[in-house]
Amino acid sequence: MNNSVRISIYNIILNYVFNRGFQDYDNFSRKLTEAILEDFAKGHFDLRKTISKVKTSFFRLNSISRSQFFNKRLEKAIINAWKNSSKINEPLTERTVKIIKTPLLSHGVCKELQVDDIDSFIEVRKVKPSEVVNLIPLDLDEEFIKNSLAEIIGETFVQKDWGGELGDLFTTRIKFRGHRIPTAFMFKGKGLRKKLTIADCGKNGDQILRLLKLPARLFIVQHVGEIDFTVREQLEMATEAKARQTGKALYYCLMDGVDTARVLLVYGKLDR
């Protein structure tokens, strides 16, 4: 199955939950997404029935019934997302079902890293978060941040930005646990000084989807300020899906304004 359909459906559900003032208790959006994909794989889908079989405390904690949560527009949006996937014109034969389920059976794993864990930024441990909080949000543009980080890791070949790019920087200069690891960056500079949310990462978070298309093993999302937890969930889910599909160990990292400032400061790219 195309990873993008899983993430697209997940985002549709997550946005529906938050737009109605609910909290995503018990990781409900992800559980419902997986249940929906299982039903599509079996050749049938009825959102009302799918909602009824998900074991979760979401409804009790949000004081809403399962029937109240159901919405025809939500169901239609999910169906459209499925139809727009790469399997749109392929009938749900036994062979198709096997292909759809393959990523769930692979043994790839993913793990979140902190910037402190990355060898190339090891000096960052010398700077406490409390030392830079007064600088947030950083008044720095994406180009400066990208070029500064490239200099820190020793990357000579920095790609120029263009509309169809998969990521802002792809490099093999990053070191982790003593080894070089292919790494893809997505940067957000002072053009977005508010909290970074999924809505700021392209339609249905497609910037993160494009980032995951790069042949990297570490994926880093950077921002000059706070990063919303939904971006973390999106990045985690996309990385986990790719890890399962490829059978490789993959890593992801969120580099918010505080961590960005710590790195730039300790390597002489930023003044206090």
pLDDT tens-place string over residues 53-85? 999 999 988 889 999 999 999 999 899 888 886
pLDDT tens, residue by residue, 76-122: 989 988 888 644 434 434 333 333 333 333 357 899 999 999 999 99
Query: Same domain, yes or no, for 239 and 174?
Result: yes
At 191 the pLDDT is 80
Query: Same domain, yes or no, for 137 and 158?
Result: yes
Helix (H) or strand (E) holding 148: helix 142-153
Query: Same domain, yes or no, for 170 and 229?
Result: yes
Q: H helices then E strands: how many in the chain?
A: 11, 7
Residue 197 sits in which domain range?
A: 109-266
At 204 the pLDDT is 60
At 145 the pLDDT is 95
Query: Same domain, yes or no, for 167 and 238?
Result: yes
Query: Same domain, yes or no, for 122 and 189?
Result: yes
Query: Same domain, yes or no, for 215 and 97?
Result: no
Domain count, the chain: 2
pLDDT tens, residue by residue, 194-249: 899 988 887 666 788 889 889 999 999 999 999 998 899 889 988 988 888 888 89
Q: Is the pTM of this model over 0.75?
A: no
Query: Same domain, yes or no, for 177 and 246?
Result: yes
Domain's final residue, options 64, 88, 105: 105
Percent of the chain with pLDDT over 70: 87
Confidence grade of residue 179 (pLDDT, cut at 50, 70, 90): very high
Domain's final residue, options 105, 130, 150: 105
